[in-house]
Amino acid sequence: MSESAPQVSDPGGAQGDPSLFARLRDAWILEFSGFRWRLLLCTQLARLLPEGRAIGLRTGLVRAIGLDIGPGTRFLGMPKIQSSPGPLRPRLRIGAQCTIGARVILEFGEVLTIGDRVSLADGAVILTTTHQLGPKEHRAGPVVRNPVVIGNDVEIGADAIILPGATLGDAARVLPNSVVNANVAPGVTVSGIPARPVRPA
């Protein structure tokens, strides 16, 4: 009586089911193929620094992410950086001698240009991406991306929000807690929701 040959298990399965290793590898690629490890590492290191202190070290960490930041620009807190997939550097330019406060959010799915000597106060938010309003069954419609341009010598107050497509001219001022959804002419001060020019007293 002959012995039957030992059965060797097929790691792929008889029906072509992927092995556990293949499934884990595919899940890893799906979740982390576009992950920005440098952004994560620099952000975590910067969060260890106290806000308002170690400004030079924090600014160096932001530059290490690979962003285009002009000389003399200072970060008082680590900004929350959000972007769509792809390289960061072509979509964000921050000019020289700028001051970026704590808790600032910079979202640049589209190009975000910040001029020289710009001041972003604590909690300022700049967005380049939104979505159209969809039907009631699914309110978040198609994504819309519009660039934001902030001129030179602009001041953006605490907790102000700049929405996609806005252009702020040179020396414009946005007062705290305002929401800018349109262009602001050079030298004009705006306030409110939505932001409107402030009449001189």
What's the pLDDT tens digit per position in 33-80? 666 777 777 778 878 887 777 888 888 888 888 888 999 999 988 888
CA 109, CA 47: separation in Å to the nearest integer?
A: 23
Tokens, residue 9: 């298990």
- Cβ neighbour number for residue 177 with a 10 Å cutoff: 15
Domain ranges of the chain: 20-197
Residue 32 pLDDT more than 70? no
**Contact assessment for residue 156 and residue 171, using Cβ atoms and an 8 Å cutoff:** no
Tokens, residue 94: 């921050």
Q: Is 1 exposed, middle or buried (0-12, 13-18, 19+ CB in 10 A)?
A: exposed
- Give the DSSP H or E segment for 190: strand 189-191
pLDDT at position 13, please?
Answer: 46
Determine what percent of the chain is predicted with pLDDT higher than 90.
45
Tokens, residue 120: 């972003």
**Contact assessment for residue 90 and residue 67, using Cβ atoms and an 8 Å cutoff:** no
Contacts of 176 (CB under 8 A, 6+ apart): 121, 157, 158, 159, 160
Q: 20-197 falls under which CATH superfamily?
A: Hexapeptide repeat proteins (2.160.10.10)
